Amino acid sequence: MTTLADVKQRVIRLLGEEVGNTYPDPVAGTNTSSELLTDAVVAAISALASRYWKRAILAIEADPDATSVDVPEDLIEIEGIYDTEIGGFIPKAYFQIGETLLGTNQNVWTDFPTGTITYSQPMAEGGNIYYSAEWEIPTADDSVIEPPGFCLSYITLYATSFVQLKNANAQAELRQYGTKVDSGTPVMLPAKDMSDYFMKRAELEAQRLPLLEKGLR
């Protein structure tokens, strides 16, 4: 199992630094704090969810009176809602002039207002909400990275790009300049160029991730 500490060490090596602290102390680089490394990995995992998300199920308890349920905290998008009573998926209600949710014989659902899933008829026998979800965010160095192992390269490259933004900010404040050997063109923020480079590499890795289908067919 890959932990947050493992990913932080991978980022440190990509940055060309030495590992300053090792587990059980918070893992840090010689020039990069443990807090920044954690922020970078968290940002990478959050970004991953828009490309390769977690597939989750929320059970709806049987209730002859309830017509709504609170959405899960990790919800990205609802993929489908299954009604046990009818033994099938119910459709989403779309807003159309002259249409109403009242008096319809078919159960439908809507995600209005924000934070609530509302269906037109109670689910007397319960059901399931199938949805795309965010990955669990690691909070400590021994936290296990929840996304699959084939996502690790994307997470590492994205996190390295994130850390380089801090270095680019420092260079901007100090107005440091470098020179490209091949052309002699002044480079104002070499760390920004490196951040952009690692992000491009992360995007290439994202293209290698399996494609997930959304919604019902």
Dump pLDDT digits (tens) for 136-195.
Answer: 999 999 999 999 999 999 999 999 999 999 888 877 766 545 455 555 455 567 888 899
Q: Do both 102 and 203 map to the same domain? A: no
Q: Do both 150 and 99 map to the same domain? A: no
**Domain assignment present for 47:** yes
Are residues 37 and 160 in contact, defined by beta-carbon separation less than 8 angstroms?
no
**Domain assignment present for 215:** no
SS3 (DSSP) at 184: coil
Of 105, 133, 161, at which residue does a domain stop? 133
Q: Do both 64 and 87 map to the same domain? A: yes
DSSP per residue, 53-104 = PEEEEEEEPP-SS--EEEPPTTEEEEEEEEETTTTEEEPBP---TT--STT-
Q: Do both 192 and 161 map to the same domain? A: yes
Q: Do both 48 and 142 map to the same domain? A: yes
> Running DSSP on this structure, what letter comes out for residue 144?
B
pLDDT tens-digit series, residues 82-138: 999 999 999 998 877 766 665 567 889 999 888 999 988 999 999 999 999 999 999
Q: Do both 60 and 100 map to the same domain? A: yes
Q: Do both 125 and 144 map to the same domain? A: no
Are residues 44 and 154 in contact, defined by beta-carbon separation less than 8 angstroms?
yes
Of 112, 133, 154, at which residue does a domain stop? 133
Mean pLDDT of 3-9: 97
Q: Do both 62 and 124 map to the same domain? A: yes
**Crossing angle for the helix pair 152-174 and 4-14, nearest 10 degrees?**
50
How many whole angstroms separate alpha carbon 136 and alpha carbon 42? 9
**Domain assignment present for 95:** yes
Domain count, the chain: 2
CA-to-CA separations, 71 to 56, 144, 166, 167, 176, in angstroms, rounded: 12, 25, 35, 39, 49
Query: Which residues, 6+ apart, have CB-to-CB distance to 191 below 8 Å?
Result: 164, 165, 167, 168, 170, 171
Residue 214 has pLDDT above 80, yes or no: no
Closest C-alpha among 13, 46, 30 to residue 160: 13
**Domain assignment present for 216:** no
Residue 215 has pLDDT above 70, yes or no: no
Q: Do both 118 and 92 map to the same domain? A: yes
How many whole angstroms separate alpha carbon 108 and alpha carbon 126? 14
More confident residue, 40 or 23: 40
Of 133, 163, 180, at which residue does a domain stop? 133
Q: Do both 102 and 121 map to the same domain? A: yes
Q: Do both 58 and 127 map to the same domain? A: yes
Predicted TM-score (pTM) of the model is 0.85
Q: What is the pLDDT of residue 171?
A: 73
Q: Do both 59 and 111 map to the same domain? A: yes
Q: Which domain holds residue 153?
A: 4-52+138-207
Residue 216, judged by CB atoms within 10 A of its CB (0-12, 13-18, 19+), counts as exposed
Closest C-alpha among 72, 42, 217 to residue 147: 42
**Domain assignment present for 148:** yes
More confident residue, 15 or 96: 15
Q: What is the pLDDT of residue 99?
A: 66
